[in-house]
Amino acid sequence: MSKRIILLIMMIAPIWMSNSPGAVKVDFFKGSLNVVKNKAATEGKLYFVDFVASWCMPCRWMDETTFTDPALVKYVEDNYIPVKVDIDDFDGYAYKQVYGIKLLPSILIFNSKGEIVDRYEESLPPSKLLAILKKHNTAANRVKTKTAAPVAKPTVNRPKLEPTPTPATKPKPTAKPTPPPATKPSKPAASTVVSTGEGLYRFKVSRQASKGYSVQVGVFGDYGNVLIEAAKLEKKFKEPVLVHIAQLNGKKVYRVMIGEFSNPSSATEFRTYVKNSGTDCIVKDLSTMK
């Protein structure tokens, strides 16, 4: 092999390695969408959600090509909080229903306030996704709406000062000390109650006919979480709480809904009220829930 060819390989090798798949990759945030939303509000950043599934081949194609493009990786790192949601997970299944995901891959783009600014239901090459992200990265979509909690100053533990010993002297006789008056013992401070799903609940259960409409707010895999959520929703919205029990991928899941409406327009109006209160939700046709 000639020296000229060796020199050429040495020159192009770094460029090839930097653009080869796997050299760099978008670092997707590990956490729930609520955590991402708070993080975006605090940092004044947009975020996007990539809805995927393990069996989705176009999703894998984007992982291997789009999300390994160096230019895209750098732009996302500087301007966006990326998060990936698997629709076959319990939380992912709930988010799929909340955001009406029907095709994979689907990418939803949110501003720093947690509002959807656009959605794309297709596999996107790196150049197209980069153009989309740049299009929505405007000052209006990057408003900080929360302030980061102040960092507490570290406390310095100093050793306890021992009293300086004094020379021993002959004690003088003193009068017999009077014992202090008895005081009533103080009550211990109340401890913080943590919701775990355990404890006592008032619960009235009756069979619900599969007709009409309701507003679904979540899907749970733990019955304790259902009890906690039902108690909160009933207190907040003063509407009946419905629970649909079904099987998903061999596991039992509980869909929690609020309200009972005879027509979709009434359910949609109530959904707007629930959504404006800060709770993501969708309208459900109860006839489909046997």
Taking alpha carbons only, the member of 129, 28, 127 closest to residue 119 is 129
C-alpha span between 148 and 41 (Å, rounded) = 9
Identity of residue 160: K
- Residue 206: inside a domain: no
Helix ranges restricted to H, the chain: 3-19, 33-43, 57-64, 70-79, 90-98, 126-136, 223-237, 264-276
Parallel, antiparallel or unpaired: strands 241-248 and 251-261? antiparallel
3-state secondary structure of 278: coil
Give the pLDDT band (50/70/90) at residue 10.
very low
Which residue did the predictor score with more confidence, 175 or 273? 273
Structurally, how many domains does the chain consist of? 2
Last residue of a domain, one of 107, 141, 175: 141
Q: Tell me how crowded residue 267 is: count the other CB atoms within 10 A of its CB.
A: 23
Average pLDDT, the chain: 79
- Residue 189: inside a domain: no
> Tens digits of per-residue pLDDT, 60-93?
999 999 999 999 999 999 999 999 999 888 778 8
Terminal C-alpha separation, the chain = 73
137 and 43 in one domain? Answer: yes
> Tens digits of per-residue pLDDT, 180-221?
554 444 433 333 333 445 566 666 777 888 889 998 887 777
Q: Is the pTM of this model over 0.75?
A: no
127 and 217 in one domain? Answer: no
- Residue 95: inside a domain: yes
- Residue 38: inside a domain: yes
